[in-house]
Amino acid sequence: MQNDIENIRLAADILKNGGLVAFPTETVYGLGANALDSEAVKKIFIAKGRPQDNPLIVHIDSVEMMMPLVKGFDERAKALAERFWPGPLTIIMERSEAVPDTVSAGLSTVAIRMPSDEIARALISKAGIPVSAPSANLSGSPSPTSAKHVIDDLSGRVDMILNSHNCTVGVESTVISLAGEKPRLLRPGFVTVEELSEVIGEIEIDKAVYESISNDTVVNAPGMKYKHYAPKAKVVVIKSNFEKYKEFLSQNADEKTVAMCFAGEGKALSLPFVEFGEENNSKQQAIMLFDALRKVDELGAKTVYVRCPDCKGVGLAVTNRLFKAAGFEVIEL
């Protein structure tokens, strides 16, 4: 812990001086910069190779730190914050003049999150400034859930990497927008739609989320604009039971194919495999998902056929990330 305290002090100084620090959060590692310093924020986009039109989440340690950044904090936002902060929920609200355009990519809104991870909170508190942070991976590749993932992607491109524990949630925060008339889910995560609805009632699900899970027929979407979280291998999601999946592999796999399946299934297959949690345990799948996608590349795969998870609860987030990694290429058997 002494080591942690010293490193956090160093990292906080780097942030205050306009530098970049990668740090753990409960969801994924983040790449932080002073959210109030436009020049510092620009460095994030360069280090990640991130398109400038993709806005960043601002991380805070308290509602007090957030207040100067937003136009208002209405009853719905307060209720959500009370129930889910600190934790893996990001709330989009109208922003104030204090938020630089670079953070919000020119939008009138800002995304705010209060992480629960102890190191993340200590860092933000020590720096005493709001910290804008996307996931600390190279743009397009799987999000980082361990310090090793960050080092693999960003070593030499940032000022400091806080080499700490693995992330306990494993998928990025749930993103809900309160900027429109009705609350709208923009990205599913560990905080589920059902849990959000308990607090603020009906929630619209953004089309991008919904379409990604309602595709239950064969979808071939070449040139799909957004391909995210993807390993170098081509990802195809297989929606079927294990028997049919196994049969499909026996007919379609070659020596460059890797199977991505649930815990305990690999030994029944006759090709290299990576397992990502038990079939009926969405939380475990979330923790293991991004690491599994990276391992697929380490095995030298050209193609990976992935078992399709259940999409209830946290499974919605797991399915959403996988479908994106696959560029929405899903085969139903």
Q: Residue 319, interface with ligand TXA (CB under 6 A)?
A: no
Q: How far is the CB of 228 from Mg ion (least distance, A)?
A: 7
Strands 174-177 and 109-113, sheet pairing: unpaired
x/- letters, 57..96, toward ligand TXA (CB under 6 A): x------------------------------x-x-x----
Report 107-166 residues binding ligand TXA (CB under 6 A): 107, 109-111, 113, 133-135
* Total residue count of the chain as it appears in this document: 333
Residue 310: both structure tokens together: 């259940």
Applying CB under 5 A, the span of 105-113, 132-140, 277-285, 307-315 interacting with Mg ion comes to 132-140
Is residue 50 within 8 A of residue 105, CB to CB? The reply is: no
Residue 42: both structure tokens together: 């620009």
User: How does DSSP classify residue 142?
Assistant: P
* CB closer to ligand TXA, 81 vs 110: 110
Q: d(Cα 183, Cα 77) in Å, to the nearest integer?
A: 10
Q: How far is the CB of 279 from Mg ion (least distance, A)?
A: 27
Which residue is it, tokens 């070449």? 222
Q: d(Cα 302, Cα 232) in Å, to the nearest integer?
A: 8
The helix or strand, by DSSP H or E, that contains position 303, with its residue range, turns out to be: strand 303-307
Report 184-213 residues binding ligand TXA (CB under 6 A): 186-187
Q: How far is the CB of 124 from ligand TXA (least distance, A)?
A: 11
* CB closer to ligand TXA, 57 vs 330: 57
Q: How far is the CB of 45 from ligand TXA (least distance, A)?
A: 10
* CB closer to Mg ion, 34 vs 137: 137
* CB closer to ligand TXA, 104 vs 192: 104
Q: Which amino acid is at 76?
A: R
Query: Count of H helices and E strands in the chain?
Result: 12, 15
Of 61, 330, 86, the closest CA to residue 190 belongs to 86
Q: How far is the CB of 221 from ligand TXA (least distance, A)?
A: 19
Of 132, 88, 91, 94, the closest CA to residue 111 belongs to 91
Half-sphere exposure of 24 (CA within 13 A, CB side): 22
The full DSSP string for 228-251 is: -S--SSEEEEEES-HHHHHHHHHH
Q: Which amino acid is at 248?
A: F
Binding residue for ligand TXA (CB under 6 A) from 116, 145, 173, 212?
A: 173
Binding residue for Mg ion (CB under 5 A) from 104, 135, 173, 212?
A: 135
Site size for ligand TXA (CB under 6 A):
25
Is residue 144 within 8 A of residue 289, CB to CB? The reply is: no
* CB closer to ligand TXA, 177 vs 257: 177
The entry of Mg ion, ligand TXA, none near residue 294 (CB within 5 to 8 angstroms by kind) is: none
Q: Residue 116, interface with Mg ion (CB under 5 A)?
A: no
The entry of ligand TXA, Mg ion, none near residue 104 (CB within 5 to 8 angstroms by kind) is: ligand TXA
Applying CB under 6 A, the span of 21-29, 61-69, 203-211, 259-267 interacting with ligand TXA comes to 21-29
Question: CB 209: neighbour CB atoms within 10 A?
Answer: 22
Q: Which amino acid is at 56?
A: L
The helix or strand, by DSSP H or E, that contains position 31, with its residue range, turns out to be: strand 30-34
Q: How far is the CB of 126 from ligand TXA (least distance, A)?
A: 17
Applying CB under 6 A, the span of 171-179, 243-251, 253-261, 302-310 interacting with ligand TXA comes to 171-179
Q: d(Cα 103, Cα 27) in Å, to the nearest integer?
A: 20
Q: Residue 172, interface with ligand TXA (CB under 6 A)?
A: yes
Q: Which residues contact ligand TXA (rule: CB under 6 A)?
A: 25, 27-28, 30, 54-57, 88, 90, 92, 104, 107, 109-111, 113, 133-135, 172-173, 175, 186-187
Q: Which residues contact Mg ion (rule: CB under 5 A)?
A: 135
